[in-house]
Structure 1
Amino acid sequence: MTNQHDTIKIHNIDKTIVRIALGTWAIGGSSWGGPDDDNAIKTIHAALDNGINMIDTAPVYGFGHAEEVVGKALKGKRDNIVLATKVGLNWDNSGKMFRDSSPKRIQKEIEDSLRRLNTDYIDLYQIHWPDDKTPIKETAQAMEKLRKEGKIKAIGVSNFSTKQIEEFSQYADLAAIQPPYNMFERSIENDILPCAEKHKLATLCYGSICRGLLSGKMNKDTKFTGDDLRKSDPKFQPPLFEHYLAATRDLEEYAQKNYNKSLLALAVRWVIDRYKGNIALWGARKPQQINGVQDALGWQLTKEDYKELDEILAKHIKKNIEPSFMAPPSR
């Protein structure tokens, strides 16, 4: 059950958006154990059935695969959905990624994404990572050109610093940003969130359940195999993994005792209530992973809650580890 605190408007997009959006990185398959298209389509449909009306994807998720799956899943449903994708990562034949936000790359990628997504416009088009080989002015102007042509409705940037956000805003009508943000990864509170508030930018928070760590489903025996990116995340390796698990146990107890909610619902609500422009990205690749979306809506955390939750976090986590290990290389 949603209330007025559970929805948001993004500048230049006319639809009202529920503040939980489906993230589709895992649906692409790469870094998550390979694709499973049948389950992926069911997952997207389950998200829509649970009231989610924004889907965030990217060409690099499975090298085009996630976009194709989203396009298939949204056949006949496109008009009701706010569709967000990204631009600015390229890859070679071996699958090695690198940043490329040149106007030429943007012009090619928009056509590829429109075709894969089976749509004639994208609601929110975001630069995936800053490209230090292309002047921000050129990138921003190329994005603004697409907006004026009607191929995209709104412009966003992902993983940008405040300085880069400020510069980009001089040349394009910026509407949204997308940084990593969750109870364990909070560096954006120092600068990015105040910048978003200053410019009235929507903030799509990726990793809101910290790659499953805040799902309540993990324990000390949880193993990560194959190409699972958590094998290279220090939070999921000993001895730190045990510290984070201890924190999740206390957080889960707090959620249950104070709100009769799951850890998952608490983690997502924590992101939503932190700033009125926040949208929590909920990553899933199986329909059952959508269970609990409604649990995170229809209530709010208080200032006292945030204070007590900070105390729990400080007790177990002595040093915050940000997800910088996920950054793709420059050209």
Structure 2
Amino acid sequence: MEYTVLGRTGATVSRIGFGGATLGLTNYVEAFDAYDARDRTRMFEAIEVALEGGINLYDTAPGYGAGASEEVLGEALRGVTESGGHPLFLSTKVGLGAAHDVRASLEASLSRLQRPSLDLLQIHGDSYTTGQTDQILGPDGMAEQLLALKEEGLVRHVGFTTEDNNDSVYRLLRSGVFDSIQLCYNVLYQHPYDPNRPFGSLFEAEKHGLGTMTMRTTTSGTFQRWIQQVNPDNTFDYAAALIQFVLSNPLVDVALVGMRDAERVRLNLLTADDLAGRISIDELHQRYV
């Protein structure tokens, strides 16, 4: 397993992180029920293989199945302190809807995850309006609440997630509050990294020292469904290529990937170890020959 440092958190983390959305969201990407006995067994086997393979970063959220994802990880990771010789790094989120009581959201997450504290607590956001950003950074806002929890030692680092690349995201990156950003970046959505200008939230995150994690690394199935529509006879497994695209970006610390079964974890571990499969993103963006 390849490891890196997650920005100014200083934490050593695996380049592939275990994305928790697939552990809690019913029928997400494929038919699935977090409370089905067979699906539950598959999930626990997947997490066990991930730990054996050296994946030490696990990301979840209370919004993934109304706490189901956190419960699964809490049970599967009970007593686990490291993977691949590095400390376990566990992160969750607090939704914008819980802005009035970040502490209560965190305490519920800690209970489900069976942990006294967490490595990272992130605002679970989307595009962020100007008003939302004002609230986050203003007096008694979410940023202030997050920093108070950090001061208490209930969380070691704070971050935010985003699906967008707008001015509000840049305000959050420049605020000095956050240690990491989790952003949408994949072969279909490349706005965070445009090397021709250069411009994008990945550049801004690097400038301010934030750790970077990608969500929707394999496009949440969109790319694969498109291929099936335009070329139904194509049976090529694009997951490895999609992951390699993200891992090839020098400004990406961790590519989060959702994994529900042990075989998919094994395939993704092979992809992470295949350094020869990396490409030059900058060369890919060259427009002239």
Q: TM-score, normalised by structure 1?
A: 0.70
How far 1:171 moved relative to its partner?
Answer: 5.5
- Which residue pairs with 1:84 in the alignment? 91
Give the 3-state SS of the residue equivalent to 1:211 in structure 2: helix
Matches within 5 A, 1:277-288: 277-288=252-263
- Which residue pairs with 2:154 in the alignment? 151
1:107 aligns with 2:103: yes
RMSD: 2.9
Matches within 5 A, 1:136-285: 136-137=136-137, 138-159=141-162, 161-168=165-172, 173-190=177-194, 191-212=200-221, 236=225, 242-243=229-230, 263-285=238-260
Give the 3-state SS of the residue equivalent to 1:173 in structure 2: coil
Contact 2:6 2:212 (8 Å CA) reproduced:
no
Give the 3-state SS of the residue equivalent to 1:127 in structure 2: strand
Give the 3-state SS of the residue equivalent to 1:84 in structure 2: strand
Q: Structure 1 pair 121/158, CA: closer, same or farther in 2 (3 Å)?
A: same
1:29 aligns with 2:36: no
For 1:57, the aligned partner's letter is T
CA shift digits 1:4-40 (9 cap, x unpaired): xx32222464541111000011110324232132221
Contact 2:6 2:253 (8 Å CA) reproduced:
no
Contact 1:101 1:127 (8 Å CA) reproduced:
no
How far 1:161 moved relative to its partner?
Answer: 4.3
**Number of residue pairs matched by the alignment:** 261
CA distance in structure 2 between the aligned counterparts of 1:119 and 1:209, rounded to whole angstroms: 30
Q: Structure 1 pair 169/270, CA: closer, same or farther in 2 (3 Å)?
A: closer
Gaps of 5+ in 2: 195-199
CA distance in structure 2 between the aligned counterparts of 1:176 and 1:162, rounded to whole angstroms: 17
Give the 3-state SS of the residue equivalent to 1:188 in structure 2: coil
Contact 1:18 1:53 (8 Å CA) reproduced:
yes
CA distance in structure 2 between the aligned counterparts of 1:193 and 1:170, rounded to whole angstroms: 12
How far 1:82 moved relative to its partner?
Answer: 0.3
CA distance in structure 2 between the aligned counterparts of 1:141 and 1:241, rounded to whole angstroms: 47
Give the 3-state SS of the residue equivalent to 1:119 in structure 2: coil
CA distance in structure 2 between the aligned counterparts of 1:135 and 1:198, rounded to whole angstroms: 24
1:51 aligns with 2:48: no
Give the 3-state SS of the residue equivalent to 2:91 in structure 1: strand
How far 1:200 moved relative to its partner?
Answer: 2.1
Give the 3-state SS of the residue equivalent to 1:154 in structure 2: strand
For 1:188, the aligned partner's letter is P
How far 1:294 moved relative to its partner?
Answer: 2.7
How far 1:164 moved relative to its partner?
Answer: 2.7
CA distance in structure 1 between the aligned counterparts of 2:8 and 2:206, rounded to whole angstroms: 17
Q: Structure 1 pair 193/170, CA: closer, same or farther in 2 (3 Å)?
A: closer
Q: Structure 1 pair 101/170, CA: closer, same or farther in 2 (3 Å)?
A: farther
CA distance in structure 1 between the aligned counterparts of 2:75 and 2:66, rounded to whole angstroms: 16
CA distance in structure 2 between the aligned counterparts of 1:168 and 1:64, rounded to whole angstroms: 26
Give the 3-state SS of the residue equivalent to 1:296 in structure 2: helix
Give the 3-state SS of the residue equivalent to 1:274 in structure 2: coil
CA distance in structure 2 between the aligned counterparts of 1:41 and 1:146, rounded to whole angstroms: 30
Gaps of 5+ in 1: 89-98, 219-235, 253-261, 312-331
1:121 aligns with 2:117: yes
CA distance in structure 2 between the aligned counterparts of 1:141 and 1:172, rounded to whole angstroms: 12
Contact 2:4 2:12 (8 Å CA) reproduced:
yes
- Which residue pairs with 1:135 in the alignment? 135
CA distance in structure 2 between the aligned counterparts of 1:143 and 1:187, rounded to whole angstroms: 28
Give the 3-state SS of the residue equivalent to 1:164 in structure 2: helix
Q: TM-score, normalised by structure 2?
A: 0.79
